């Protein structure tokens, strides 16, 4: 068990990222190219399909994961997404950035809608 700095960043386990694990297994699977085209297109589709709570949970967990892995090599990020969290897709740098932007937009849209509906 490692305790150095683990209090600042959550351990990357399915238990700590349940919504993200569910998303990865449902959208970032072996057939992603056939079903969605690219991983960013799969993330876009998820944002359309999911309800507001699901979108927010996944987008928040994605953001937490990217924060926890900040400065790590792409191979380590992909290992977390696949081996630790159950996805089947390995992302390149550009796709990683695009998916992060999509989830940031999901959060922004939710917050914007909430204000617009008040």
The number of domains in the chain is 1
**pLDDT recorded at residue 30:** 93
- Report pLDDT for 107: 84
- Classify residue 74: in a domain, yes or no: yes
What the block records as the tokens of 91 is 């992302």
pLDDT 10s digits, 20-46 = 999 999 999 999 999 999 999 999 999
Does residue 1 belong to any structural domain of this protein?
no
Asked if residue 5 is part of any domain, the answer here is no
Domain of residue 37, residue span = 18-117
Residues 51-91 have pLDDT tens digits of 999 999 999 999 999 999 999 999 999 999 999 999 999 99
Residues 6+ apart with CB under 8 A from 51: none
Which positions ≥6 away from 92 have C-beta within 8 Å?
74
- Distance between terminal CA atoms of the chain? 47
Confidence (pTM) = 0.85
What's residue 106's pLDDT?
85
Domain assignment present for 7: no
Q: Name residues whose C-beta falls within 8 Å of residue 113's C-beta, 6 or more positions apart in sequence.
A: 52
Assigned domain for 79 exists: yes
Q: Is the pLDDT of residue 117 over 50?
A: no
Does a structural domain hold residue 70? yes
Does residue 54 lie within any of the structural domains?
yes
């Amino acid at each position: 068990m490692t305790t150095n700095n683990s209090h600042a960043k959550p351990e990357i386990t399915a238990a700590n990222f349940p919504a993200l694990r569910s998303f990865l297994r449902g959208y970032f699977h072996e057939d992603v190219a056939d079903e969605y085209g690219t991983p960013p297109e799969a993330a876009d589709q998820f944002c359309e399909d999911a309800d507001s709570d699901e979108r927010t949970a996944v987008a928040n967990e994605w953001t937490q994961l990217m924060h926890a892995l900040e400065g790590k090599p792409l191979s380590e990020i992909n290992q977390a997404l696949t081996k630790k969290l159950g996805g089947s897709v390995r992302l390149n740098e550009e796709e990683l950035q695009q998916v992060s932007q999509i989830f940031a937009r999901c959060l922004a849209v939710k917050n914007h809608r909430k204000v617009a509906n008040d």
